[in-house]
Chain A
Amino acid sequence: MNLLLEGARMAWENLWNNKLRSVLTLLGVAIGIGSTVSLLGMGFGFKEEIFREFESVGRNMIMVFPNIFMETGEKLEPLTEADRRSIAAVCRDGIEEIVPFIFGDQAMVRYLKEKTAPQVTGTAPGFLEIQGLKLENGRFLTEADLSTGRKVVVLDWRVKEKLFGRINPVGKMVTLYGEKYQVIGVIEKKISSISFGTDTNGMNLYLPVTTLQRVMKFKDYYGLYITVSSLAETETISKMINGLMAKKYGPKHGFQVFSTEELLKALQIVTGVITALLGMIGGIALLVGGIGIMNIMLVTVMERINEIGIRKAIGAKNTNILWQFITEAVALCLLGGALGTGFGFAVGFFIKKHTPLRLVITPGLVGTAFLFATGVGLFFGAFPAWKAAKMDPIEALRFE
C-alpha cells in the first residue's frame, strides 16, 4: 500500500514537472471521454424521451392508417364507416374507444383582423386522451357535437395565441372555410419531440369529424385510433383488425395496423442502434486519446532511461518501475476522464438550453467513463511501462 501511494506521488510529481505535455496528452483522453459521455448521454436522452412520450399516450393503443409507403399504382383506400363498424363489432370486448380522424384542406382561420393557417383535423371525443393532450380552457368535442354536425372548433395554444393573444377565446366566433365556427376549447402546450399524426410544432385546429366530412364532401375516414382495455390484448386485437382488412380489401390491403407497443419495440431497437453508434464514435475518439497516451509514455520512458537505471541500482524492483509508469499513464487518463466528464456535462447543459434534445448523464455513465479511462491508461501504459521495467540496469545507467 505504501508503495502504491509512493507510486502515485511520484507519478504526480513527474506529471507536474511536465505540465504542458501532460495537459496536451490528457486533453486527448478528455475529448475521448467527453464525447463518449455526451454522445451516449444524448442516446439515452433520446430513448428516455420516447419512453416518456409513450407513457403519456398509453401503450395499449392501436392505429389504423392508410399505408403511405405503398408502391405506386396501388390505390390508396379510405377507411369507411362500415369498416369502423365492423372493427367495433368484431373486437367489441377488448376495445374501449375508436376515434376516427380526417384532415381538412389547408385553409385560413380568421378572427377579426388576425389570421393563420393551421392543420385542420376532424375527429371525435377521446382524441385528446389518445394524443396525451390537456385542455387549458373550455371543453373538447362531444358525441352531441358529432351527431348534429355542430360548427364548433377547439384550438391549440399556438392558434389561440396567434388569433386571440391574451383574450379568452371560448364562445368567440372564428371564420373557416367561409363559415362561422364557435370556439369551445383551447388545448394547452405540450412539450414533445414525437407524436402520432399531429404536428406538435405546428398549429392545430380540431372540429367534429362529421362537420369536416360535410365541408370536404368526404364520407370516409383517413384513419382510426383504437384504445384497448389492456396491454395484453393489443396484439390479438391488432391481428384481428389486420385479418378483417385483408378479408375485405385483399391480403395486400393498403392499411397499416400497428399498436404502440409494437412501435415502441421497433423504436427501442432503433434507439439502441443509434446509441451504440454514438458510443462507437466516442470510442474511436477515446482510442485516439489512448494512442496519444502510449506515445507520450514511450517518450517519457526514453527520456528517463538514466533515472530508471539509478532507481534500479539503489534497489527498485522491476515491478516498482512497472508500477511507476503505469500509475503515470492511469493518472493521466483519470485526469483526462475527470476533465472529459466535465466537458460532457457542459455539452449536456448547452444542448438542454439551446435545443429540444436532452442529455441524460447518469452516475452509472460517469462511473463507466472513469472505468474506461482507467482501462485506457492500463492498456496503453502497459507496453511502455513493461519496456521500462525490463531495462538492464547497467545499460540504463550508462545511457546518455
Chain B
Amino acid sequence: MIRVEKLDKIYKNGVLEVQALFEINLAIQAGEFVAIMGPSGSGKSTLMNILGCLDRSTNGSYRLNGVEVGDLNDNELAEIRNKEIGFIFQTFNLLPRSTALQNVELPMIYAGVRRGERREQAMEALKLVGLGDRWHHRPNELSGGQRQRVAIARALINSPDIVLADEPTGNLDSTSGREIMMILQNLNQQGITVILVTHDEEIASYAQRIVRFRDGEIISDEPVAERTVERE
C-alpha cells in the first residue's frame, strides 16, 4: 500500500539547508497498525506530512497504492487527502466557529456530496463516536476527548484507506487517551491502515509494529512484543 524508497527531505531556509530525512526506505501493507516513534526533530513528523501528501519529498520515491505521489499536482494531492487519507492531529484542528456536525461535514463538501446526504452521513459518524447528542456543540463546548472524537469522525467521513494520527493523545488525559486508542484499534480491525506518530512508549504499544527514528534515519523497525489491547 505504502512504499517509500530512498526518500530525502531537505528544508531550505535562505542559504541554510537542513536535511530532515536521509534515504528512508519503508513499506506498509494494507491493514497494518504502525507506530512511528522518535524524539522531536528526528524526522517522524516530516515523514508523516509526506505520507499524508501535505508535503513533498526532495528526492526519492513515494508510491501510494501504486501511484507515484511525486508526479501528482497540487489538485491531485488535495484529492488524495480528501478521499484516501484521514488526519487526526494532536491539537484536534477543528474549525472553532463551526459545530461538531459542520466540522464532520467539511471533507464531504470538498468531495462534492449533496447537502442532505452530507447531514445524514455526518450525523451517523458522530453517533458512531458516541457524540450523536452533541452534534450542535462548538469545539469550545466539548472536552478534549470529545473534540478528538469529532476529529476522528471527520477523518473517517470519506471512508479513507489510511488514517494518519499525529500524537492523537498528546493533549488528552489518560482515560480519554485510552478511549481514542481503542477507537483506532477498532478501526484497524475493520481493515483501515493506521499510522500513528508518538513519542510515548505506552501509546505505541497499541500498534502492531514500531518504526523508530533518530536524526532523520530509521534506526529500528520491529513488531510489538507485548501489544496493549483495549476492550470495551
- B188 interfacial contact with A, CB 8 Å: no
Contact B97 A17 (CB under 8 A): yes
Whole-angstrom distance between the Cβ of B36 and the nearest chain A Cβ:
17
Within 363-400 of A, Cβ neighbours of B (below 8 Å) are at 393-394, 397
Report B-chain residues with C-beta under 8 Å of the C-beta of A17.
Answer: 97
- Count of A-B residue pairs with CB < 8 Å: 63
Pick from B52, B74, B95: contact of A317, CB below 8 A.
B74
Report B-chain residues with C-beta under 8 Å of the C-beta of A116.
Answer: none
Task: Decide yes or no: A314 and B81 within 8 Å by CB, A307-B95, A394-B49, A394-B55 being known contacts.
Answer: yes
Closest to B79 in A: A315
- A266 interfacial contact with B, CB 8 Å: no
Q: Which of B52, B82, B89, B109 has the most CB of A within 10 A?
A: B109
Report B-chain residues with C-beta under 8 Å of the C-beta of A3.
Answer: 109-110, 112
- A150 interfacial contact with B, CB 8 Å: no
Closest to A396 in B: B54
Report A-chain residues with C-beta under 8 Å of the C-beta of B95.
Answer: 307, 310
The contact string, 1 if C-beta is below 8 Å from chain B, for chain A 310-336, is 111111111110000000000000000
Task: Decide yes or no: A311 and B87 within 8 Å by CB, A317-B75, A318-B75 being known contacts.
Answer: no
Contact B78 A310 (CB under 8 A): no
Report B-chain residues with C-beta under 8 Å of the C-beta of A199.
Answer: none
Task: Decide yes or no: A316 and B110 within 8 Å by CB, A307-B95, A310-B95, A394-B49 being known contacts.
Answer: yes
Pick from B74, B87, B106: contact of A318, CB below 8 A.
B74
Within 57-112 of B, Cβ neighbours of A (below 8 Å) are at 74-75, 78-79, 81-83, 87, 89, 93-95, 97-98, 106-107, 109-112
Closest to A5 in B: B115
In the bound complex, CA of A320 to CA of B79 (Å): 12
How many chain B residues touch A (CB < 8 A): the figure is 27
Contact A320 B110 (CB under 8 A): yes
In the bound complex, CA of A314 to CA of B112 (Å): 13
- A72 interfacial contact with B, CB 8 Å: no
- A2 interfacial contact with B, CB 8 Å: yes
Closest to B102 in A: A13
Q: Which B residues lie at the A interface, using CB under 8 A?
A: 49, 52, 54-55, 74-75, 78-79, 81-83, 87, 89, 93-95, 97-98, 106-107, 109-112, 114, 154, 158
Q: Which 7 A-B pairs have the closest CB atoms?
A: A315-B82, A315-B110, A317-B78, A314-B107, A315-B81, A310-B93, A393-B54
Q: Which A residues lie at the B interface, using CB under 8 A?
A: 2-3, 6, 13-14, 17, 306-307, 309-320, 393-394, 397
A-B contact pairs, 17 of them (CB 8 A): A3-B110, A13-B98, A14-B97, A307-B95, A309-B93, A310-B95, A313-B54, A314-B82, A314-B154, A315-B81, A315-B82, A316-B82, A318-B74, A318-B78, A393-B55, A394-B54, A397-B93
